[in-house]
Structure 1
Amino acid sequence: MALVGVSAVGFDLDGTLFDHLGSARDGVESFFRSLGVEPTEVAVTSWFTAEQREFERWRSGQISFQEQRRARLRAVLPPLGVELPTGDHDLDALFEEYLRAYRGAWRAFPDSRSLLRQLRSTGYRVGLLTNGIESQQRDKLDLIGLSDEFDAICVSESIGVQKPDPRAFAALATALFVAPADCVFVGDDPETDIDGARAAGMRSLLIDRGGQDRAGITRVVLAELSAR
């Protein structure tokens, strides 16, 4: 029996359906080696720390998307002994080398496709809401084989607002043709996904792919949708 009133399930992408951390770790290790840098745990951690900090600066409107990429290179590589080019064009070309390695490692979590299909086959409308640029997020979905598994896809660049802004979740509900109260949103970030969804009037489910939900999220999602 379905959770009363729920007719749709929304998902975050990175860290929820797409294995960003695993893909990015493989990508940055390959990138570092191409620069003659040993990808130690300290070096890799510095990359992810800069990624989180600069992506948040972009999300909050402080810098452009391209500048957050340049800022990551400037923060991480010189302390590792890499001399950076001075011009923005050359910095962008250097970041493209990382992107090629990252893209080559892209993968969905093993249970993502089967979960989406199971939900749709049982009558739920299924949507995606992700922060990022349209081209990259769509490219991810195409490459990992999830593009056709949703009834609606909302990328922040295209809808003009980002999570955790409640208007982003409202846009997803509109695209799914449901009221926010009729949707459960599943994500891995307590603030961006969970607080944002609740502020929009959606029910929400926090998952942890690196911890308690390492084996998969199908069971916890289905349990959330079951009558209590």
Structure 2
Amino acid sequence: MGTLRAVGFDLDGTLFDHRGSARAGASAFLGGLGLDVTEAALDAWFAAEDEQFERWRSGEISFQEQRRKRLRSVLPPLGIDVPGDDVGLDALFEDYVRAYRASWRAFPDALPLLHHLRSRGFRLGVLTNGTEEQQRDKLVRTGLDGAFDVVCTSERIGFQKPDSRAFVTLADELGVDPADCLFVGDNPAHDIAGARAAGMRAVLVDPAAGLRDVVLEEVARTRGVRHDLGREERDDHAGERAQPDE
């Protein structure tokens, strides 16, 4: 592997607390329709989101259509009639988007981690499956936007994760070889397998359990140093430890 010069990040579920934000937004949206917001109702909402977003990601349906299908599949079984036309469905979904946007938040240690990496001279980038407008809006509203050198949305670059070309594009825009980049994400297939197929190092994270230390440990490991509570020091025994994936 090359010399670590850049760190790329997934956005939703890695830096941005999508599930927490969406849960709060869905609760407000469904409650506004007069529904009792039960765990079963929220489970149905997220099951539809996962299914239809994946259909959009794979190119099977449009971004707007995946939103419409979510409403059609979730609301009628809960006793809510949905508009019969696309304009009405789009307007209804915007009610959810407003509630979702009002609940947007980053994971608590996301920004401190990014500032720490930047202070160490790393170039930083985001690679996210999503639309240019919404994903950039998330970065701005959560205060994460100023931390990055590059923001690659699938809509803009024309490739969806886990396509290795998406990761190569991120490296190109960061001005580094893929071998010189570590990618951080929460999805084993879309983030980790995709990054490694492109020749990057990759680390799987669970931000709900803590993001900063996991990433800094991986950065330290690839640079042959020991990370200890925010400090890095030379590790004379680096050669005795497990080497990064290649």
- TM-score, normalized by length of structure 1? 0.96
C-alpha root-mean-square deviation of aligned residues, in Å?
1.0
Partner of 1:206: 204
Query: Which of 185, 196, 220 is the aligned partner of 2:214?
Result: 220
Partner of 1:46: 44
Task: Compute the displacement of 1:4 (Å).
Answer: 6.5
Rounded Cα–Cα distance in structure 2 between residues aligned with 1:116 and 1:175 = 18
Partner of 1:183: 181
Unaligned runs of 5+ in 2: 225-237, 239-246
Rounded Cα–Cα distance in structure 1 between residues aligned with 2:10 and 2:36 = 33
Aligned: 1:33 with 2:27: no
Query: Which of 6, 16, 19 is the aligned partner of 1:18?
Result: 16
Q: Deviations over 1:49-76 (max 9, x none)?
A: 1000000000000000000000000110
Q: Deviations over 1:17-71 (max 9, x none)?
A: 0000000000000000000111100100110010000000000000000000000
Unaligned runs of 5+ in 1: none
Structure 1 residues 218-227 or 94-103, which shifts more?
218-227
Matched residue SS, 1:36: coil
Name the amino acid aligned to 2:162.
P
Rounded Cα–Cα distance in structure 2 between residues aligned with 1:176 and 1:63 = 31
Rounded Cα–Cα distance in structure 1 between residues aligned with 2:173 and 2:114 = 17
- TM-score, normalized by length of structure 2? 0.89
Give the alignment of 1:1-228 within 5 angstroms. Answer: 5-210=3-208, 214=209, 216-226=210-220, 227=224, 228=238
Kept in 1: contact 2:7–2:184 (CA 8 A): yes
Rounded Cα–Cα distance in structure 1 between residues aligned with 2:39 and 2:59 = 30
Partner of 2:229: none
Runs of 4+ in 1 over 3 A off after TM superposition: none
> Which structure is higher in RCO with an 8 Å CA cutoff and minimum separation 6?
1
Matched residue SS, 2:206: coil
Q: Deviations over 1:126-152 (max 9, x none)?
A: 110001000000111110011110011
Rounded Cα–Cα distance in structure 1 between residues aligned with 2:2 and 2:218 = 11
Task: Compute the displacement of 1:209 (Å).
Answer: 2.5
Q: Deviations over 1:66-116 (max 9, x none)?
A: 000000001100000000110000000000000000000000111111100
Partner of 2:243: none
Matched residue SS, 1:148: helix
Matched residue SS, 2:146: coil
- Which structure: larger Rg? 2
- Give the fraction of aligned pairs with identical amino acids, expressed as a percent: 61
Rounded Cα–Cα distance in structure 2 between residues aligned with 1:16 and 1:39 = 26
Rounded Cα–Cα distance in structure 1 between residues aligned with 2:5 and 2:37 = 45
Number of residue-to-residue matches in the alignment: 222
Rounded Cα–Cα distance in structure 2 between residues aligned with 1:148 and 1:134 = 16
Name the amino acid aligned to 2:185.
G
